Amino acid sequence: MTATEGLARLQAQFAAAVLGEDGAGFARHLAGDAGAGLRGLAIYRNAILANRRRALRAAFPVVARLVGDGFFDEAALRYGEACPPGGADLNRYGATFPAFLAAYPHAAAMPWLADVARLEWAWHESLAAADAPGMDFAALSRVPEGDQPSLRLLLHPSVRLVRSAWPVLSIWEANQPDRDGTPEREDGADDVLAWREAQRVRLARLAPPEAAFVDAVARGLALEEAAGITDAWDFTPMLQRLAVHGMLCGFSTGDRVPA
């Protein structure tokens, strides 16, 4: 057994003892009296679970408020068991928490909960997304008219689209710190656009054709194809809205990928 193999075994056993609450089997690796060793392992277990809970709570404050502390802490614990962090950066922990909630039996009575979580994760990702230079509108205006249908637009890295069958934006808004939790709408679908502008994440509700158009642009479709997704709908106002709020940052024509 090499030195690293010995260390790997010790660390794996430590992790199992701490997370599995089976400290007794690990006690033989510890110095000092057994009681002190078990108390030490319990301190680590509490700290590890608290760190994970705190990270999820920071990323999903609306979900936490909706379900209450006891429910959230239990869900965080079960999620940590099912999907432990794969990296050291806890700011990126929780990407699969919405999917976990979608399948979580105790959340079955709240079918909109997972989509609220998806919206919160989109917000979270948008805040930390890469910066990008603004669109070169002078260059864009020089694109010959004949090439315009083949224009492909590059969206800013902070742009996210969350499409839900539930009124997730109303729920999200109603559960901000200054609101009492009563949503303005309790049914109906919400398509929500998230983006970062002046270093703040903004959210806006889109009409269905607008969402379909943004989704098509995000998938890299040419303008002509993106516009064709919804019949008899003028995409120009939506395009202007994307431009005015800094959501466009590049373009290409023909078959080239935008850069």
Partner 1 sequence: MTARFPPCAPDPRKAGIGLRTAHFEALARSRPALSFLEVHSENYFADGGPSLAWLERFRADHAVSLHGVGLSLGSADPIDREHLARLARLAGRIEPALVSEHLCWSSIGGEHLNELLPLPYSEEVLAHVCDRVSSVQERLGRKILVENVCAYVRYASSTIPEGEFVAEVARRTGCGVLLDVNNAWINSVNHGTDAMRFIDALDPSTVGEIHLAGGEVTAEGVIDTHGAPVFPEVWALFEKAVARLGAVPTLVEWDVGIPELAVLLAEAAKADAILASSIERAPRKAAA
Q: Which residues of this chain interact with partner 1, rule CB under 8 A?
A: 3-8, 10-12, 14-15, 18-19, 28-32, 36-37, 39-44, 47-48, 51-52, 55, 84-93, 127-132, 157-158, 196, 199-200
Closest distance of CB 103 from partner 1, Å = 21
Torsion sign over Cα 122, 167, 185, 244: positive
Min CB(222)–partner 1 separation in Å:
27
**Tokens for 165?**
């069958």
Under 8 Å between Cβ of 66 and 101: no
* Whole-number Å distance between alpha carbons of 199 and 210: 24
Q: Which of 119, 110, 107, 246 is nearest to 173 (CA)?
A: 119
Cβ 200 to partner 1, closest distance in Å? 8
Smallest distance, partner 1 to C-beta of residue 151, A: 25
Report how far apart, in Å, the C-alpha atoms of 155 and of each of 121, 130, 144, 210, 230 are: 18, 12, 21, 14, 20
CB of 19 to partner 1, least distance (A): 8
Name the residue nearer to partner 1 (CB basis): 87 or 146. Answer: 87
72/123 with CB nearer partner 1: 123
Angle at 91 between CA 85 and CA 97, to 5 degrees: 55
Q: Which is nearer to partner 1, 197 or 225 (CB)?
A: 197
Q: Report the nearest approach of partner 1 to the CB of residue 21 (Å).
A: 14
Nearer to partner 1, 108 or 128 (CB): 128
Nearer to partner 1 by Cβ, of 44 and 233: the residue is 44
Q: Decide whether 12 or 108 has the Cβ nearer to partner 1.
A: 12
Residue 76 has φ and ψ, to the nearest 5°, of -65, -40
CB of residue 51 vs partner 1: minimum separation in angstroms? 5
CA distance 153 to 144: 15
Q: Whole-angstrom Cα distance, residue 21 to residue 8?
A: 19
In the bound state with partner 1, the residue whose beta carbon lies nearer, of 27 and 110, is 27
Show the CA angle centred on residue 254, arms to residues 250 and 256, nearest 5°.
Answer: 60
Residue type, 148: Q
